[in-house]
Amino acid sequence: MDMMVTNEDENGVPDHNNSEAVAHNVKAAGGVNVEEDQELTLMARNAPKRMLSAEFKHLTSFSKQQRVVPLDMKNSSLTHALEGLKFICKNDGGPTGWATVERRFDGLADAGGFLQRSHFGECIVIEDDSRYFSERLFDSLCRRRNITSEVINKAQFREFWDQIADQNVGSRIQTFFDVVDKDGDGRITKDEVIEIISLSALDNKLPNIPKKVDEYATLIMEELDKDNIGYIMIESLETLLFQEPTHNVRGENRNLSQMLSQKLKTPHPLTKWYEDLKYFVHDHWKRCLVLVLWIGIMAGLFAWKYIEYKNHVVYDVLGPCVCIAKGAAETLKLNMAIMLLPVCRNTITWLRNTKLGVVVPFDDNINFHQVIAVAIVIGVGLHAISHLACDFPRLIHATEEEYKPMEQFFGDQAENYWHFLKEVEGYTGIIMVVLMTIAFTLAWLRQGQLKIPSFFRKLMKFNAFKCSKRYDAFVKKLTGFITVINKFTGFNAFWYSHHLFVIVYAMLIVHGIKLYLNKEWYKKTTWMYLAVPILLYACERLIRTFRSRLIPAQLCKVLVYPGNVLALHMTKPQGFKYKSGQYMFVKYTAISPFEWHPFSITSAPGDDYLSVHIRAVGDWTKDINKAFKDVCNVLYTVTTHY
């Protein structure tokens, strides 16, 4: 068993430095957050508790579009606070509303007439991206009725519908309270507040909220838990929601209220686009800076080569095609070089600790690596198509007089495509394209397992397809095919196929040396682009190999837990130090001599051993779990929740 320790930050980005890693508090770059306005936030700083109180009220909204619920309590802040509970039914609670959801129930229920927990949200018309809340709502309704199964019949569903469609204010408050109160003890703790805020941010795609979720939860508890007893009762929530609005507020709070009301209005599409762009740039300015710089460099290289070959003698025959091909080739040299830098973990760690880390998002190294791969695909397409579809046909069909200036570069005039493909430039290019296609495809498939398209699942709602044996057989065959594809497109396929780039880089250097139009060595710049990145990456791989050999780990205990969880306790090398939040890379040579996987260190820094817990979720983790289960003589079990 080999291991390597590295830091685990909020992005899960590997971060190690020799034998001892330094823990960093790196904030993840957030996504677009339309609801966070700089001016609004600046004003709200003077009244944090008021804002958090309003934020807590806003959490009762589970949909992105605010809808006004008409209530008789005109002087109560409850009118706006509870309008979000409308998410649970687009229809009213009358006969018409029930008839609609009853038809959905009949379409989604299984053959036994039971509705699955996973289909509950769809049945009551909760948006697909709010499935976490729909499941929490289902659990809370079941908990109140002592239902322990994850399926319900139509009678139970009718009870659920009667409650969630009830327009009574008290009923809606109780429903929301039950959703937040996960354990059903009648109290909302800080942990439950944190969880509901996180789920709300997840469902509404607000990645910046989780960064300060603990701070928000603390302020909410300060507002509602006046006696500091550690939890919130439903009476505290009702007191907040039914409180009279304060009329004698300062001007800044009045302006804040007006701005909040203004934001509820549907903006003009152009205004919304501008706001989205503004917030995106504000939230991702580091990424934008790097992308603008990178794209600017590529544009400059492309323009330089385009102008150079526009003034070249071959332009009279090849035209703008050769300019496009050479411009794309120059960007390919750059991208093939810098693509190696984001995966040099030691270098990234060192750069992150410099002043450059203030303006460069080094924690986005893998994302940038993937973006570069997309640019390479585009560059290869432009380069290959320009040559194959334009340059070569022009050379083949050129007249003798037109071709005469070309002889110094291409020799005798070609009669067909084979003349170009059999040359070094031709077959090296083809080999590179084939190998990169394999590597890119398997890397893309690794991003997420293939699933049956939702179209086929939706067809199962109709009786004609549900009862069709042929359609059922087709779906089973499709499922089996996708299962086979997923089996062969996991981490192993990605990892080993990426090593094809060793051949790709070798071919690229040869391809860059055997050029038709450039004979001088100093104009053959491919090796100049690649020399430093390849050397740096090779040194990184050697360091990783030697480090794993110099710091061996011996297993001292193996525990097998229920739920396919394996705990490995290893000896701690003398002088080895680490901090909480770091993780180690583990390699089990019996499964694969090259495959490393990161796992969080679960032992305390003061322990005399290192431990990791491995859950069987992928091919490698399943193999290692099976390997140790087979050799363990004692099965360790725990009865408490793990």
Structural class in CATH, domain 38-270 = mainly alpha
- Return the bridge partners of 598, or none: 585
**pLDDT reported for residue 325:** 95
- Mean pLDDT, rounded, for 320-332: 96
Share of the chain above pLDDT 90, in %: 24
Q: What distance in Å separates the CA atoms of residue 201 and residue 98, rounded to the nearest whole number? A: 30
Q: 155, 197 in Cβ contact below 8 A?
A: no
> For 390-423, where are the alpha helices, taking DSSP H only?
392-397, 400-403, 407-410, 418-421
pLDDT in tens, 540-588: 989 887 877 776 678 888 888 877 888 999 888 877 788 777 778 888 8
- 553-631 matches 38-270 in CATH topology: no
CA distances from 182 to 116, 144, 189, 304, 639 (A): 20, 11, 10, 62, 21
Q: What distance in Å separates the CA atoms of residue 126 and residue 123, rounded to the nearest whole number? A: 8
Question: Whole-number mean pLDDT of the chain?
Answer: 76
Tokens, residue 167? 């327009």
553-631 belongs to CATH 2.40.30.10: yes
Q: Looking at this protein, which amino acid is placed at residue 622?
A: K
**pLDDT reported for residue 522:** 86
Q: Looking at this protein, which amino acid is placed at residue 18?
A: N
Cα 587–chain centre separation: 25
Tokens, residue 425? 């430039």
Please list, in sequence order, all residues whose beta carbon lies within 8 angstroms of the beta carbon of residue 625, skipping any fewer than 6 positions away: 560, 564, 566, 614, 616
DSSP 3-state of 461: coil
Kindly tell me if the per-residue pLDDT of 508 is higher than 80. yes
Tell me which residue has tokens 């139509």. 154
Continuous segment of H or E residues that includes residue 103: helix 95-108
Highest mean pLDDT pick, 25-34, 53-62, 135-144, 445-454: 135-144
Contacts 24+ apart (CB under 8 A), 532-535: 532/337, 533/337, 533/338, 533/339, 533/340, 533/341, 534/340, 534/505
Higher per-residue pLDDT: 266 or 52: 266
| pLDDT tier, 633 (very low <50, low <70, confident <90, very high otherwise) | very low
Kindly tell me if the per-residue pLDDT of 87 is higher than 80. no
> Which of the residue ranges 168-177, 225-234, 510-519, 599-608 would you say has the lowest mean pLDDT?
168-177
Continuous segment of H or E residues that includes residue 544: helix 526-550
Higher per-residue pLDDT: 115 or 19: 115
pLDDT in tens, 452-480: 777 776 776 676 676 777 877 888 888 88
Higher per-residue pLDDT: 527 or 190: 527
- Mean pLDDT, rounded, for 387-392: 92
**pLDDT reported for residue 172:** 74
At 582, give phi and psi (nearest 5°). Answer: -90, 165
Half-sphere exposure at residue 592, Cβ-oriented, CA atoms within 13 angstroms: 16
DSSP 3-state of 215: helix
> Nearest to residue 21, comparing CAs of 352, 339, 342?
352
DSSP 3-state of 575: coil
Measured torsion, CA atoms of residues 515, 517, 520, 524, in degrees rounded to the nearest 10: -50
DSSP state of 188: E
| Angle formed at CA 280 by CA 274 and CA 284, multiple of 5 degrees | 150
| pLDDT tier, 208 (very low <50, low <70, confident <90, very high otherwise) | low
Kindly tell me if the per-residue pLDDT of 295 is higher than 90. yes
Q: What distance in Å separates the CA atoms of residue 15 and residue 582, rounded to the nearest whole number? A: 9
Q: 64, 272 in Cβ contact below 8 A?
A: no
Q: What distance in Å separates the CA atoms of residue 383 and residue 322, rounded to the nearest whole number? A: 9
Q: Where are the domains of the chain?
A: 38-270, 282-545, 553-631
Please list, in sequence order, all residues whose beta carbon lies within 8 angstroms of the beta carbon of residue 381, skipping any fewer than 6 positions away: none
- Mean pLDDT, rounded, for 92-109: 73
**pLDDT reported for residue 438:** 94
pLDDT in tens, 15-33: 333 333 222 222 333 333 3
Highest mean pLDDT pick, 204-208, 223-227, 494-498, 589-593: 494-498
Higher per-residue pLDDT: 404 or 452: 404
Kindly tell me if the per-residue pLDDT of 47 is higher than 80. no
At 283, give phi and psi (nearest 5°). Answer: -80, -25
